[in-house]
């Protein structure tokens, strides 16, 4: 009986059933995605610390609200609090898997809402080492997947996957992602530039679990190996299932963000 | 005759001062959020003035705080943002205004704004034809992007088929003009205290407007109609031919604006039809903006902008842009200091006249920002509205502290 149960578990688990490295990679990605479904909407505050190669720091403060969209990319509303000269600037994004995202920005000095091009995937977000594509919502069709190996990272047993962007305008040829086997959380990502040389490493830490399901890293550090600069994101005050809906993510909503 | 503009300004300054003091008091007591900036500016004019006694050096300072408080779970809020400038040369440029003093009520499918507010309509960069709600604060900047606060009631209705905005504006704001000691003016000063209106109600004419706007896929669309006093006055000679008098006609203006966004392309179009008792005219701005992102593997974005400006106003209203082209480029460094540079030129196709515009800015530390603005005129056509300011080229340095 016990043996039978074990066999059934093995059969049900897509990770173990996968045969080729591609299938295994996809199965791990699907499991990662599945475990983060159902949060509906989320709110968080983020402090961004930019460091140049001499260690000089610069700080940004933003608030991010997201809406989970079934079968498509999430909707996101970002409000900038610091630096003070861009206070009140807000940014709305409807992300999509392979189609271009829809994006609007509100410029408070002119009270102007402007639809902007979303082709800028690889450019720096607010002068940081995070590119727009690094902070956009994760969707399965955005990448192709390849399982590379198992490896220990910070004492955690991890899968290492290779992801290759399938969307246009990416600044990367590929990235390598370390996902822990216990909870399917990203622990580390190596990004390779268009010339296929190592560009950046992102480390995820201070994971906390919310609503008994959703793991969120409270610290993310991006180290650029080519220019010596780094950026740390410190996330705080996560809130889920606030009862938000489509109506809270319209371009009209940009104008009254504070 | 109604109250003079100077009285209004004084009143506005006093109300601002009172509210600022009250707000600073309240800030300590309640959850009032304070932000804003103060700035020092120095403007250097390349040539001696043609018409005024003002020199080539013009220092100036401005203060623009913003007070904000919300309650009722954020569904109600109050915003107050006064503006005060003290100018070293021109008494008319020393002025105060309440940019915003607005109560906002937010509901699921509608919003109500009551008070003094600021609204932007449109998509173009070179000029803002459909943007008709707020009066331009012309002494601040001749690019018409600085606006005076407009008293209004604004109801926004959100539907699946778009947003409908309804406006009722019970009080008219007169355009500000450079005074005797200012640059960027013609031989005659505009006597703003002597402004006249086509409407018997004068500045108390009840202006109304409605606008529909919607996002459909790659399209941003807007359709608007305005009825009320034209924000752009005609300037008439006074009886002694010693000054110009602003005359505000009553007008109907219908506007259409559209933007199509595809890949790195933005396609833009604004059109208006303006009808007054004296004339009807049509104007258009259309063009493209294309951005090269991360050029040569750097972080720099290079945007190219080109717009065509047209109106069939002929010599009746003597607008600056009857048949002109804007060509410009915007460089964005995407660095820690958010460095930006815009260089553009508007070229009159029927002559060789050109007006150059340079704008650059860069943050210093977390709280400071330095900006440079330059305006240069190559105008030889005597009939051009820009002819009087042909010797008013300037370059301006501004240092702002944000709080």
Q: Which two tokens stand for residue A25?
A: 């990679």
Contact check, Cβ <8 Å, A83/B33: no
Q: How far apart are CA B117 and CA B100, in angstroms?
A: 5
For residue range B242-256, what is the model confidence (pLDDT) as tens digits? 999 999 999 999 999
- In Å, how far is B189's CA from the nearest CA of chain A? 28
Give the domain extent around B298: 5-402
Residue B238 has pLDDT above 90, yes or no: yes
- Cα separation, A234 vs A218, whole angstroms: 6
pLDDT tens-digit map of A119-152: 989 999 999 999 999 998 899 999 999 999 999 9
Q: Per-residue confidence at A6, pLDDT binned at 50, 70, 90? A: low
Counted domains in chain B: 1
pLDDT at B270 over 60: yes
The answer to whether residue A18 scores a pLDDT higher than 80 is no
Task: Report the pLDDT value the prediction gives residue B231, as an integer from 0 to 100.
Answer: 96
CB atoms B35 and A110 under 8 Å: no
Q: Are strands A90-94 and A75-82 parallel, antiparallel or unpaired?
A: antiparallel
Q: Which pTM was predicted?
A: 0.90
B212 touches chain A (CB under 8 A): no
For residue B259, give the nearest of A100, A115, A194 by CB distance.
A115
B267 touches chain A (CB under 8 A): no
Q: Whose structure tokens read 């109250």?
A: B3
On chain B, the residues whose CB falls within 8 A of the CB of A50 are 336
CA of B183: how far to CAs of A56, B75, B83, B186, B373, in Å?
Answer: 43, 45, 21, 9, 15
pLDDT tens per residue across span B199-211: 999 999 999 999 9
Q: Does the distance separating the beta carbons of A127 and B337 come in below 8 Å?
A: yes
pLDDT one-digit tens code per residue, A54-95: 999 999 999 999 999 988 899 999 999 999 999 999 999 999
For residue B163, which residues of chain A lie inside 8 Å, CB to CB? 252
User: Are B341 and B372 contacting, i.e. CB atoms less than 8 angstroms apart?
Assistant: no
Residue A163's closest CA among A119, A133, A124, A205?
Answer: A133
Kindly report whether the peptide bond that precedes residue A83 is cis, defined as omega within 30 degrees of 0. yes
Report CB contact under 8 Å: B266, A86.
Answer: no
d(CA A3, CA B208): 79
Among chain B residues, the shortest Cα distance to A256 is held by B104
Confidence of residue B317 (pLDDT cuts 50, 70, 90): low
E strand or H helix that includes residue B21:
helix B5-29
The Cα of B48 is separated from the nearest Cα of chain A by a number of Å equal to 32
Buried b (16+ CB within 10 A) or exposed e, B71-108: eeeeeebbbbbbbbbebbbbebbbbbbbbbbbebebee
Supply the DSSP symbol for A17.
H
DSSP class of residue B24?
H
Strand runs (DSSP E) across B118-173, as ranges? Answer: 150-159, 162-169
Is residue B171 within 8 Å of B151, Cβ to Cβ? yes
Contact A124 B299 (CB under 8 A): yes
- How close does chain B come to A145, measured CA to CA in Å? 26
The interface predicted TM-score of the complex, written ipTM, equals 0.90
B363 shares contact with chain A (CB less than 8 Å): yes
For chain A, say whether B259 makes contact (Cβ under 8 Å): yes
Of the options 3.40.350.10, 3.40.50.620, 2.50.20.10, 2.40.30.60, the CATH number for the domain spanning A19-254:
2.50.20.10
pLDDT band with cut points at 50, 70 and 90 for residue B8: very low
Q: Write out chain B residues lying below 8 Å of A251, CB-based.
A: 215
- Chain A hits for B160, CB-CB cut-off 8 Å, are none
Instruction: Specify the 3-state DSSP secondary structure of A6.
Output: helix
CATH at B336? 2.40.160.10
A130/A123 Cα distance (integer angstroms)? 8
Are A117 and B77 within 8 A, CB to CB? no
Beta-carbon separation of B163 and A252 below 8 A: yes
Interchain proximity B294–A171, CB inside 8 Å: yes
Q: What's the mean pLDDT in B270-284? A: 94
A127 contacts B70? CB cut-off 8 A? no
Candidates A100, A120, A127; nearest CB to B338: A127
pLDDT tens digits, A242-255: 999 998 999 988 98
Task: Give the pLDDT confidence score for residue B352 in this predicted structure.
Answer: 86
Helix (H, G, I), strand (E, B) or coil at A187: strand
B334 reaches A (C-beta below 8 A):
yes
| Beta carbon pairs, A and B, within 8 Å | 92
Cβ contact (<8 Å) for B301 and A58? no
Nearest CA in chain B to A109: B146
Question: What per-residue confidence (pLDDT) applies to A97?
Answer: 85
Contact B60, B93 (CB under 8 A): yes
Confidence (pLDDT) at B27: 52
Residue range B173-186: mean pLDDT, rounded = 92
């Amino acid at each position: 009986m016990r043996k039978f149960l074990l066999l059934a578990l093995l059969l049900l688990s897509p990770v173990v059933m996968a045969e080729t490295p591609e299938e295994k990679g996809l199965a791990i990605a699907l499991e990662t995605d599945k475990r983060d479904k159902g949060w509906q909407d989320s709110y968080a505050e983020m402090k961004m610390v930019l460091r140049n190669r001499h260690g000089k720091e610069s700080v940004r403060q933003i608030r991010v609200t997201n809406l989970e969209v079934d079968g498509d990319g999430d909707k996101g509303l970002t409000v900038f609090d610091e630096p003070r000269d861009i206070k009140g600037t807000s940014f709305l994004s409807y992300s999509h898997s392979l189609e271009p995202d829809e994006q609007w920005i509100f410029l408070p000095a002119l009270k102007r809402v402007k639809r902007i091009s979303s082709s800028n995937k690889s450019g720096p977000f607010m002068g940081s080492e995070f590119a727009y594509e690094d902070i956009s919502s994760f969707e399965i069709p955005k990448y192709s997947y390849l399982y590379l190996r198992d490896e220990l990272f910070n004492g955690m047993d991890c899968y290492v996957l290779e992801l290759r962007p399938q969307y246009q305008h990416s600044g990367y040829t590929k990235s390598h992602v370390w996902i822990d086997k216990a909870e399917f959380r990203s622990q580390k990502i190596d990004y390779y530039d268009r010339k296929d040389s190592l560009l950046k490493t992102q480390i995820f830490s201070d994971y906390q679990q919310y609503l008994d399901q959703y793991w969120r890293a409270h610290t993310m550090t991006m180290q650029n190996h080519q220019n010596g600069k780094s950026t740390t994101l410190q996330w705080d005050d996560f809130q889920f299932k606030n009862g938000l809906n489509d109506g809270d993510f319209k371009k009209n909503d940009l104008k009254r963000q504070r | 005759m109604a109250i003079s503009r100077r009285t209004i300004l004084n009143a506005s300054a006093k109300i601002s001062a009172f509210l600022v003091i009250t707000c600073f008091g309240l800030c300590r007591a309640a959850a009032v959020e304070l932000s804003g900036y103060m700035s020092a500016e120095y403007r250097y004019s390349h040539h001696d003035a043609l018409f005024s006694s003002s020199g080539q050096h013009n220092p100036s300072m401005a203060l623009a705080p913003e007070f904000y408080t919300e309650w009722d779970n954020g569904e109600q809020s109050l915003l107050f943002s006064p503006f005060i400038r003290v100018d070293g040369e021109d008494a008319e440029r020393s002025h105060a205004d309440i940019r915003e003093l607005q109560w906002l009520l937010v509901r699921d499918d509608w919003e109500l704004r009551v008070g003094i507010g600021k609204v932007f309509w449109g998509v173009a960069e070179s000029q803002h034809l459909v943007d008709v709600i707020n009066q331009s604060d012309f002494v601040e900047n001749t690019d018409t992007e600085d606006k005076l606060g407009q008293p209004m009631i604004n109801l926004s209705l959100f539907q699946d088929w778009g947003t409908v905005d309804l406006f009722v504006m019970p009080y008219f704001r007169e355009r500000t003009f450079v005074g005797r000691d200012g640059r960027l003016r013609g031989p005659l000063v505009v006597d703003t205290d002597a402004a006249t209106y086509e409407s018997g109600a004068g500045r108390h004419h009840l202006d109304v407007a409605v606008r529909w706007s919607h996002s459909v896929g790659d399209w941003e669309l807007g359709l608007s109609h305005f009825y009320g006093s034209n924000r752009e006055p005609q300037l008439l000679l006074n009886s002694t031919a010693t000054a110009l008098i602003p005359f505000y006609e009553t007008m109907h203006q219908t506007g259409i604006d559209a933007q199509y966004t595809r890949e790195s392309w933005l396609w833009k179009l604004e059109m208006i039809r303006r009808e007054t008792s004296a004339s009807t005219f049509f104007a258009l701005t259309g063009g493209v903006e294309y951005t090269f992102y991360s050029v040569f593997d750097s972080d720099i974005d290079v945007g190219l902008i080109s717009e065509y400006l047209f109106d069939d106003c002929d010599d009746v209203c003597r607008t600056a842009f009857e048949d002109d082209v804007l060509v410009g480029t915007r460089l964005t460094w995407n660095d820690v200091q958010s460095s930006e540079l815009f260089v553009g030129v508007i070229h009159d196709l029927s002559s060789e006249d050109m007006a150059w515009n340079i704008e650059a800015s860069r943050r210093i530390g977390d709280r400071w920002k330095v900006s440079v603005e330059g305006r240069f005129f190559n105008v030889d056509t005597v009939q051009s509205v820009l002819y009087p300011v042909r010797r008013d080229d300037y370059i301006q340095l501004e240092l702002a502290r944000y709080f």
